[in-house]
Amino acid sequence: MKTKMYISCMLALMITAAAWAAEGPSSPQSKATASLNGTEADRFMSLTDWSTVNFDKLFTYAGFAQQNVNRNRNILDVGAAFKAGPVYIGAWYQGQFGNVSTSNNKGTTTTITESTVNPGTIDNTAHTNTARISQSHNANHDVAVLIGFSNMGVRLGYTRTGRNNSGTYFDNAIVPDTETTNSKTPGQVNGKTTYDPKGYLNAADRTGTVDFGMNLSLGTLSVSPTVGLEFKVAQDSSYGVRTVTTKDETLGTSDITKTVSTSSRNDTKTILTAKLGADLGLNDSLNSNFSFGYDFGIDIYGTKKHTAADGSTIALANSYTIQTDTHRDVVTPANQTITDTFKATAYNKSYIANTLTVGYTMRKDFTDRLSLFAGVKAPIGFNFETEVTKGVDKTTTTTIDKVNPLNNNTRVVETETPATTVKTTTVTLSPSFKAALTYAAIPNRVFVSFGTEVKPFGQGTGKCEFETVKTTVNGFTKTTTTTTTYPNDSSRTTSGSSTTPVASTTESANNTVKYSKVTVDVNLGVRWNIVDAVCVDLAYNKSVLEAINWTSIGNLKLACTIKF
């Protein structure tokens, strides 16, 4: 039985990658040591380390971070854990709570014009009414709940970032409705402009996760396998409709034009990622720990539907952008002409991401007060993306002759463009190197930490990308015109013509390498165990390659843990 367990665990290690990053807080001490040495605050939400947190009734954690990024935004970090018999329960929140703002502004401007024929009298009174509606939801949240039992842990997590806006949006901006009426011409409406209050600009990301982890002992080795599933919806969509109305009741004429914003698009992605991982502790003199992991992600795009200016629903591809979308209805005493013009670019995409990660950390205790930590992490990614692009171009004009119905007709002009296929293969390297020192200034009470992290290929994820892009075109460009006449209600005549297909010759293959300059972060921290049950922790982070701004605090984090 032991032999079978050993073989199963080693097989899991061979096919998995760096243990999935815990959805929980990062203590100032962990920050100060570049994530090489943490405290109980780092472990109380860990799938595999929750059992090392010692308390009687309740463990509480509170942190506050001030960061240079995102307009110096401040982040609240709170959590707690307790035990219900043999079951351990932990909960954690990090974020800014977010805000929802709603605005509904209305106004009227009155302009009085003096008569030039009869000075001192009013020639015209113009009333211009405006109305603007907007709502914004901006929030950055991380929430997680952990349930631990025996040597296992299960964690549920939810993350939200970004902003969603709605209201009278057009071309990615809030614009007001306007309507002007004149006392001189009460039956006329000149340039009345309204915007659909259901317009939007969405750029929020939502992620749900479920993780499982456990601890196993294999002789002198300790193994902590993890498995998880992540479901992410990354919104990237915009929509807005403008209606311009000109009307003269006296003459019996009207001109109503509905236009969908040219910034309208939908590139929302639904990403499903499976993650497997394991930590392997050797329990040797250097406290060596290896981490292995594998992430596999696919995009589940789904077919996107667009509401056109004429009110119809058009099923496009799993991503699209709008170039032209108008519906114009012109009425005169003699006839009515309705013209619908729709032009868009549709993208059918497929995406597969693979990430293999190997890491190593060690700890060397020189004395009972001074310790050295070091680590290296080397993720390598293999991403494959296929994008098939095809244009949609159709104009429909319907003419209704009120005088002679024999002239009624519908004319459709449709242009078919060839499909362009772009296949992109990307290999990414994201290594990082870390080192840290901790010193017990007062044994068991005050600890000073210093750490550094080097990313050879730049900030953020620190990637070096090797990208191969191949573009092929399959098909021809052809325009077809179809005219249908309706001489009476019971018959119709259809005629058509097509242009000579024209082949496209635009094909290419490109190879590129992308990377940024090296970044070096330095960290400094102090931890004070006031008493055994109360700890205060402080850390400061700075990139040594950035210009120093003496008026900014920088990346500062303060935290406190209290045990009952």
Q: Identify the CA nearest to 72 among candidates 101, 41, 96, 42.
A: 96
> How far apart are alpha carbons 222 and 215 in whole angstroms?
7
pLDDT at residue 2 tops 60: no
Does residue 191 sit within a domain? no
Total-model pTM? 0.83
pLDDT at residue 451 tops 80: yes
Partner residues linked to 9 by β-bridges: none
| Residue-level pLDDT at 207 | 95
Q: Which backbone phi and psi does 31 adopt, to 5 degrees? A: -65, -40
Q: Which backbone phi and psi does 3 adopt, to 5 degrees? A: -65, -40
pLDDT at residue 80 tops 80: yes
Mean pLDDT within 110-139 = 86
pLDDT at residue 84 tops 50: yes
173-227 confidence digits (pLDDT tens): 999 999 888 888 887 777 799 999 999 999 999 999 999 999 999 888 999 999 9
| Residue-level pLDDT at 3 | 37
Does residue 129 sit within a domain? no
346 and 384 Cβ atoms separated by less than 8 Å: no
pLDDT at residue 374 tops 70: yes
Task: Tell me the two tokens of residue 231.
Answer: 């479901």
Q: Identify the CA nearest to 122 among candidates 131, 110, 104.
A: 110
Mean pLDDT within 137-166 = 93
Query: Taking the CA atoms of the chain, what radius of gyration do you get in angstroms?
Result: 32
305-360 confidence digits (pLDDT tens): 999 999 999 998 889 999 999 999 999 999 999 999 999 999 999 999 999 999 99
Q: Quote the number of domains for the chain.
A: 1
499-535 confidence digits (pLDDT tens): 666 555 567 788 888 887 888 999 999 999 999 999 9
Does residue 428 sit within a domain? yes
Does residue 382 sit within a domain? yes
Mean pLDDT within 236-258 = 92
Q: What percent of the chain has pLDDT over 90?
A: 59
Name the least confident of 9-18, 132-141, 247-256: 9-18
| Residue-level pLDDT at 5 | 35
Task: Tell me the two tokens of residue 478.
Answer: 């052809």
Does residue 459 sit within a domain? yes
Handedness of CA 40, 41, 45, 48 (dihedral sign): negative
| Residue-level pLDDT at 16 | 32
| Residue-level pLDDT at 20 | 37
Task: Tell me the two tokens of residue 508.
Answer: 């290419």
475 and 429 Cβ atoms separated by less than 8 Å: no
Does residue 186 sit within a domain? no
pLDDT at residue 118 tops 90: no
DSSP symbols for 153-198: EEEEEEEEESEEEEESEETTEE--EEEEEESSSTTEEEEEEEE-TT
Mean pLDDT within 546-562 = 74
Does residue 123 sit within a domain? no
Mean pLDDT within 530-555 = 79
CB-based burial label for 84 (10 Å; 0-12, 13-18, 19+): exposed
| Residue-level pLDDT at 544 | 80
pLDDT at residue 15 tops 80: no
Mean pLDDT within 113-133 = 85
- Model confidence band, residue 550 (pLDDT cutoffs 50, 70, 90): low
> How far apart are alpha carbons 198 and 74 in whole angstroms?
32
Please give the biggest Cα pair distance in the chain: 109
Name the least confident of 247-251, 465-469, 487-491: 487-491
- Model confidence band, residue 460 (pLDDT cutoffs 50, 70, 90): low
| Residue-level pLDDT at 116 | 84
Q: Which backbone phi and psi does 406 adopt, to 5 degrees? A: -65, -15
Mean of per-residue pLDDT scores for the chain? 87
| Full residue range of the structural domain in which residue 265 is found | 2-98+139-162+203-501+525-563
